[in-house]
Amino acid sequence: MPPKKAQPGRKGKKAWRKNVDTTAVEDTMHDLRTEERLGGKLHDKHNDDLFSIDKGGDVEVKRKLKYGKLRIDEILTPQSAFTGITSRKAPKTTVEVTAKIGNAEKVRKVSKQHAERVGALVKRKLELRVGRVGAQADLVAAERAIKKRKLEIKKGGFDLWAVDTSVAKIAADDADVEAYLEPVIVKPVKKPVFADTRPVAIPAVEISHAGASYNPSFEAHQSALQKAVDEEEVTIGKRASAAKQLAYPAELDELDDETFFNDDSDDEEDEEEVNDADAAAAAAAATEDDGADALDAATKPPPASSTSDAPVVLPVNGDARKTRVQRNKELKRAELARQELAAKQAKKLDKQLNRLGELAKLVGKEEREHIRRLQERAELQKKLAEEETRRLGPHAFKPLPMDVQLTEDLADTLRELKPEGNLFKDRFASLQKRTLIEARVPISKASKIRYRRKEKETHDYKRFK
């Protein structure tokens, strides 16, 4: 039996009210609240709401009565193990059909009429070549692809590097996963990477500049002259740059022999720099040592003299004990400093939040500018790639200079017009520009001589009298 709960003292009315046990009342109130949450109080509901009459019966009992045998049926069941003798053999009305469901195969029985009807339908669809599904459709598609490939080979339109996906797919699908040997799958041939030697899609005969006409307008002629001048300036600049790199520097003539061959001055300068650096390092070290000595002298007490009888006076510490008022003031100042810092941070954050719209516009503007620059760069690269001729050999293509006449050389009539340019050179340059032939350079006579020429005296020349 559990021990009784100790009763508190009940001397006064206040103590009695305070120490009274209200556990039962609280449990009852909790149950009532639970009933109200679940649909109302039970003692206020009608019996029809609380109870129901089961008129359906037990389902399990019904199932047992339905499939169970009666005693009379068990008595009348024939006990013989042999079938009765019939007058004729009954025809078999069903056939077994193998159906593939996923990776498993199941044998099912269907009527003969249904099997014959399905077989006739499949045969008719195969003859008409429509409605193929499954493996049969894949096999027929592979056969048609092979026939088409053979026909293309005969016609001459066969692509050696074409990928025949149909044959490879059928071979991969028909491969047995559990085979002893690894099935041989026809893999497509990978096309080798060659240089792109296709001709450039530009016209064979390009239209010349309008200023190169026999009777150009003033603006077109000036534009042609300016273009020719720009090309010539670029050529002259390249020649001048190459000549400057190969030329003898004139500054070497201004140097005398002592300056050119005497390297003692450089050594002296190096020694002076090293000495200056060493002196600076020594001065810094001395300064640090002096500061350390001074600090030690200030912190350490002076050495006691054995001869003097004067009392030793220790240095007085300047940090006296703080009062409570001073500590409170310091705490108040620290709290004010923290509040000011928090206010500044909040103000800064508020300012940044207010500038979100402006920052979003600025970021969007920068992104649009970046996209515009990328588009311009891509267009420029595409334009340069189209203008620049692809190199086929060791030499790059060099366009012919522009044919343009000066203003005073322009002819007034067709009779005074002089022929300019060379049609053979134009056609040859057009072939090189369209990458039909590689660019070549003329072979000089000096480059043909591979070995140095050797002079030799004949024997007859040595025999002289």
pTM surpassing 0.75? no
Of 229, 215, 203, 200, nearest to 402 by C-alpha is 229
Residue 304's pLDDT is 46
pLDDT at residue 291, as a whole number: 47
Which burial class, exposed, middle or buried, applies to 166 when counting CB atoms under 10 A from its CB (0-12, 13-18, 19+)? middle
Provide the residue-wise pLDDT of the chain in tens; the chain has 465 residues.
Answer: 566 766 666 666 666 666 778 889 999 999 999 988 888 888 888 888 888 888 888 888 888 777 777 888 888 887 777 777 766 667 778 888 887 776 778 888 888 888 888 888 877 776 665 555 555 666 777 788 888 877 777 766 656 666 555 544 544 444 444 556 666 677 777 776 665 566 777 788 888 889 988 889 999 999 999 999 999 999 999 999 999 888 888 777 777 766 656 555 555 555 666 566 666 655 555 554 554 454 444 444 444 444 445 555 555 555 578 899 999 999 999 999 999 999 999 998 888 888 888 888 888 999 999 999 999 988 887 776 666 777 788 888 888 888 888 888 888 888 888 888 888 999 999 899 888 888 888 877 766 666 777 787 777 666 655
Cα–Cα dist 246/252, whole Å: 14
417 Cβ partners below 8 Å, 6+ apart? 214, 411
Q: Residue 312: CB partners within 8 Å, gap ≥ 6?
A: 301, 302, 304
CA 405 from chain centre, in angstroms, equals: 55
Q: Is 28 helix (H, G, I), strand (E, B) or coil?
A: helix
Residue 297 has a pLDDT of 47
What's the CA gap between 351 and 431, in Å, rounded? 67
Beta-carbon contacts of 302 under 8 Å, excluding residues fewer than 6 positions away, are: 312
Closest listed residue to residue 224, CA positions, set 388, 400, 387, 406: 406
